[in-house]
A and B are shown apart, each in its own frame.
Chain A
Amino acid sequence: MGNFKLPRLLLAGLIFFIIVMILSPDMTGALNGYFMVIIERSLIFVILAISLNLINGITGQFSLGHMGFAAVGAYVSGTFTSIWFKLNPHTLSHYPVFMICIVIGGLGAAVVGFLIGFPSLRLKGDYLAIVTLGFGEIIRTILNNIDYVGGPRGLLGIPMFSKFPIIMLFAFLTVVILRNLVQSSHGRAMLSIRENELASELCGVDTVRYKVMGFVIGAFFAGIAGGLLAHLLTLAHPTQYGFLPSALVLIMVYAGGMGSLTGSVLAAFTLTFLTEGLRVGIDALPEFTIASQTYKIGTEWTMVIYAILLILIMLFKTEGIMGMRESRILIIEEKK
């Protein structure tokens, strides 16, 4: 057993997990609850960003309605957990049930992803973007009109089960599964579609199958992220899943680098921490006085500075933080 080594990715995940657990309020308390929420949200965005990267960056399709899939996941899993714990309020260990419900939510989103995958067989580029944009809005409108899930008031009373270890587990599994997929022959087939669809079809790649596969798998993980978010906030509201949140995830994919899973992970963390960092930073700015008028830069300026920073990233690193490269941690190790 002398030459047994943990895979790098597992090691990195474990180190991150252990460090956060030690610093968390439950143990040493070096990180307060605010930090934990930011880390939890970052991890959820990691799932959203790398699953969108699979559709946009790897398969070369263009989806603008990614949060639509998350909405399906959130509502399906939220409804399932609510019903289960209403019928069986004394379930002792709720985590297995919860995890099953999250996966059911992901499957629901995957079914919808399968449906939306079909237009992608006929449409390309901007046209596909418009279809997916419309799809996101359709989901939102449908949710607004179903009384059973609260309509415009949102789905309420979802139990709070999304704790850091659970979110970490799902985020880690998502990264592992997508990494293995992308670096397998299936992943290479998807990449070939992005590079040149005609050429890859001539080489014998089943483009129809791989494009739909990209959408289904991407939607599945977006649904998982949606479910985790709903159980973190204890509610799901139609307005959370509109165009703007979808655009935020898209920004993460571009800022991280199209086609780079490492980039998406980094961007999800960087941008989430950046928003909160700016919030705290701007709060800490002192008041200043010009011509006997006191001014204070308010938190509403956060988004302005955020946008300027994003423009700077895109100007100076057009291909995103990582470009198309992967970190060594995310490359499958060769067996010697």
Chain B
Amino acid sequence: MKSYALSAAVAAILAGTFLSCGSSNKEIKIGGVAPLTGEAATFGASSKQGMELAIQEWNDKGGIDSKKIVLAFADDKGDPAEGATVFTKLIQQDKVAAIVGPVMSKVALAGAPICQANQLPMISSTATNPKVTEVGDYVFRACFIDPFQGTVGAKFALETLKAKKAACLFDVGNDYTKGLSEFFRDGFTKGGGEIVAFEGHATGTTDFKAQLTKIIAAKPDVIYVSDYYNDAALIAKQARELGYKGTMGGGDGWDSPKLTEIGGASVEGCWFSNHYAADDTTPVVQDFVKKYKAKYNAEPDALAVLAYDGMNIMLDAVKRAGKTDGPSIQAALKATDFSGVSGHVKFDDHRNPVKSAVIVEVKNGKVVYRATVNP
């Protein structure tokens, strides 16, 4: 019977910890969800730091209606099942007013129905899958979605680079890169340009010369490579070897120090759309970068920026709502008109942000700010 006694003791201790929670009226609890362990742990760590910085700033300014803001953070491990559990925990156990996060679309898709059912607003920082906000009207996001990035790239190529002919190269086995190229194509032809080549390559290949030869023969002014940074760098190298002199562009998948490490001189002059640029001279960006560096001793990445913005958008809505019940915050969120680090944010009918994207450029082996493109 010893084992029964042991199990009973364990159960009693666990029950004790669960019941020891409560909430007070002097603070506003905001839930934060991101993966601190598992495959996307680095994304989660940046996101958490972004959220914490935002909350610290609000509290330094005296909180909202002199109530202190408290972050109830939960680790989703990058797993949908875990995500559903922590969403329920934050809502039911911690009684948060709203949730910021998570980072990954699959976790957001598991958490969103729970927020919707509880009428509690959530704003995902970086879930780019368009389906996430389609779950219901309590689900928002802080990042732009893939269609928008393709359109922005096309606009930049047409208006700033004055390109008339463009070519696309993408990974056929990846939703993200394929979608991006398709939206670039649509945006470019709609703006009066001509797509002279639209080529896909297999996932995992390292030789792109067949597609590139075909593309270069069509003499494009710009090649849009919607791949991730590792493939993109190789493509740039091989394009230069084949004698291509023009410029190349891509999406936020290029955002990695590895791009210039692998690509070297061949990515020089290439550009890509991103959520923000660290050397953007706008005061709000410089202010954020300075504060982030002072607190965490690291350069903020796009995930930290979007989590920071997401938290600020949410707190701004809570402040304007004046109340902490779900429907009031949701109504305030819908009316968001907020200037964040990643641009000026308003929400469209599908609760996706309408905001500007930043185009960055590789110059002397460094990624620098080039332009801000408005939708």
Listed in ascending order, the chain A residues whose CB lies under 8 Å from chain B are 32-35, 37-38, 41, 145, 151-154, 156, 160, 229, 232-235, 237, 239-240, 245, 266, 270, 273-274, 276-277, 279-281, 283-284, 298-300, 302-303, 321-322
Contact = CB atoms under 8 A, between A and B. Distances in A.
B83 to A, nearest CB: 8
B308 interface: no
Contacts, number: 100
Contacts of B72: 283
Contacts of A284: 17, 20-21
A270 B109 contact: no
Interface residues of B, number: 39
Nearest to B131: A156
B74 A299 contact: yes
A41 B82 CA distance: 10
Contact of A154 (B73, B88, B109): B109
A142 B28 CA distance: 45
B245 interface: no
Nearest to A303: B37
Given A270-B10, A299-B73, A233 B18 contact: no
B129 A34 contact: no
A240 B79 contact: yes
A152 B7 contact: no
Contact of B113 (A234, A273, A283): A234
A280 B18 contact: yes
Give 10 closest A-B pairs by Cβ, nearest first.
A300-B36, A33-B92, A277-B14, A32-B92, A34-B92, A34-B93, A281-B17, A37-B88, A299-B75, A237-B106
A321 B39 CA distance: 31
A277 B18 contact: yes
A233 B80 contact: yes
Contacts of A322: 3
Contacts of A229: 81
Interface in B6-29: 7, 10-11, 13-14, 17-18, 20-21
A14 to B, nearest CB: 20
Nearest to A25: B92
B85 interface: yes
A179 B207 CA distance: 57
B11 A32 contact: no
A239 B83 CA distance: 13
A34 B113 CA distance: 15
A235 B93 contact: no
B84 interface: yes
B91 interface: yes
B73 A235 contact: no
Interface-central residue, A37, A38, A298, A322, by most chain B CB under 10 Å: A37
- Give the one of A232, A237, A281 with max B CB within 10 A: A237
A277 B75 contact: no
Contact of B93 (A32, A233, A274, A299): A32
A153 B84 CA distance: 17
